């Protein structure tokens, strides 16, 4: 039996809501789902309009909230930019910086200059990421929308039917190990780069069929989570720990199968708890990285 790593702070990263052009979901929905999923933190990342200036969209949502049972929830606000080399998440930046539409490495340079760090989301989807030598600080190895999009295709009617009657089974068929993304991360680490891996919810709560919400925040928030080592639940401290590469990813959806998991260590030093002979993964842990 393999023990799950002890989590101190549990959160979800890469969330869109109404300030993004492709979501109408109110902040109250995000908050209610985060409370119900028992999260300690969440990170909003709205899309940035090309002409945007000033504070980040939803910047006013940042801060500490108290859920009905009295426990705290920290909301952090980053952003998702569009660059010539693909989408780019920017974290711990003071406001909108003019990187929209610029080459990826210029955008990353500007994010660094503003004191922030940059994470490549969905590196092989939505046009993917082009410039792998650019100095990004992290990549998403899991992106929940990419996972849900696996349901699209000729089997979609069958999958929708299955989802209606067997939600767990339908998610299980989609939540498989992200082989390509994990290979890319391993390659970056082996080349000596210090790159952190993230799971992105990319939650929009914007897909519904005849009033049936197919991507409710709560389901997304409960499926795959980011776990961080103990530390104060405070904005700067949490940005610091996310940036440090010390956090890990847990497929909470598979948590009750921890007894079956096999620990696999990779040449870079990173570790996975795998299920179903490597077809699925329960936990993705970072390699021990020296402080930056
Ligand atoms: Zn994106
Ligand atoms: Zn996104």
CA angle, 22 as apex, 12 and 59 as ends, to 5°?
Answer: 55
Say if CB 108 and CB 60 are below 8 A apart.
no
- Please tell me the number of the ligand nearest to residue 79's CA: 2
Measure 101 CA to ligand 2 centroid, in angstroms. 16
Measure 79 CA to ligand 2 centroid, in angstroms. 9
Say if CB 127 and CB 86 are below 8 A apart.
yes
**How many other β-carbons are positioned within 10 Å of the β-carbon of residue 110?**
18
- Top pLDDT among 129 and 172 is at 129
Q: What is the pLDDT of residue 168?
A: 83
% of the chain at pLDDT higher than 70: 93
- Tell me the mean pLDDT in the region 164-178: 85
Measure 149 CA to ligand 1 centroid, in angstroms. 13
Q: What is the pLDDT of residue 165?
A: 75
- Tell me the mean pLDDT in the region 24-49: 94
Could you tell me the two tokens for 158? 């069958």
Element (H, E) at 222: helix 217-223
Q: What is the pLDDT of residues 228-271, one digit of tens each?
A: 998 999 999 999 999 999 999 999 999 999 999 999 999 999 99
Q: What is the pLDDT of residues 74-100, one digit of tens each?
A: 999 999 999 999 999 999 999 999 998
Measure 264 CA to ligand 2 centroid, in angstroms. 30
Q: What is the pLDDT of residue 52?
A: 87
Could you tell me the two tokens for 256? 């009750």
Domains, the chain, ordered by start: 9-285 (3.20.20.140)
Could you tell me the two tokens for 265? 């260590």
pLDDT at 2 over 90: no
Q: What is the pLDDT of residue 1?
A: 47
Measure 88 CA to ligand 2 centroid, in angstroms. 9
Measure 165 CA to ligand 1 centroid, in angstroms. 30
Q: What is the pLDDT of residue 32?
A: 95
Residue with tokens 């639940």: 233
pLDDT at 3 over 70: no
Q: Rounded to the nearest 10 degrees, how much is the dihedral formed by the CA atoms of 253, 224, 30, 242? A: 150
pLDDT at 40 over 50: yes
- Tell me the mean pLDDT in the region 158-187: 86
Measure 14 CA to ligand 2 centroid, in angstroms. 6
- Tell me the mean pLDDT in the region 170-199: 94
State the average pLDDT for the chain. 91
**How many other β-carbons are positioned within 10 Å of the β-carbon of residue 127?**
11
With H, G, I as helix, E, B as strand and everything else as coil, classify residue 230.
coil
pLDDT at 292 over 80: no
Whole-angstrom distance, CA of residue 245 vs CA of residue 289: 7
Q: What is the pLDDT of residue 7?
A: 64
């Amino acid at each position: 039996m393999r023990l799950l790593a002890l989590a101190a702070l549990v959160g979800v990263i890469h969330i869109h809501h109404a300030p993004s052009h492709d979501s109408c979901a109110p902040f109250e929905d995000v908050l209610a789902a985060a409370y119900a999923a028992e999260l300690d933190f969440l990170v909003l990342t709205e899309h940035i309009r090309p002409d945007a200036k000033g504070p980040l969209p939803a910047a006013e949502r940042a801060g500490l909230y108290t859920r009905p049972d009295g426990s705290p929830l920290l909301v952090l606000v980053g952003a998702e930019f569009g660059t010539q080399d693909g989408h780019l998440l920017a974290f711990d930046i003071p406001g909108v910086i003019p990187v929209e539409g610029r080459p990826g490495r210029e955008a990353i340079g500007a994010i660094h200059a503003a004191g922030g760090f940059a994470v490549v989301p969905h590196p092989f989807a939505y046009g993917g990421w082009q410039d792998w030598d650019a100095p990004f600080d992290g990549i998403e190895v899991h992106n929940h929308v990419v996972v849900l999009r696996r349901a699209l295709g000729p089997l979609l009617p069958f999958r929708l039917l299955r989802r209606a009657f067997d939600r767990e089974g339908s998610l299980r068929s989609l939540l498989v190990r992200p082989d390509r993304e994990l290979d890319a991360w391993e390659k970056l680490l082996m080349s000596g780069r210090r790159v952190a891996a993230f799971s992105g919810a990319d939650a929009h709560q914007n897909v519904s069929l005849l009033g049936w919400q197919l991507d409710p925040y709560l389901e997304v928030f409960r499926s795959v989570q980011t776990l961080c080592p103990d530390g104060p639940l405070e904005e700067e401290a949490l940005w610091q720990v996310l940036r440090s590469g010390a956090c890990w990813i847990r497929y909470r959806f598979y948590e009750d199968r921890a007894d079956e998991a096999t620990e696999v260590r990779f040449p870079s030093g990173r570790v996975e708890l795998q299920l179903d002979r490597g077809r699925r993964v329960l936990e993705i842990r970072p390699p021990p990285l020296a402080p930056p």
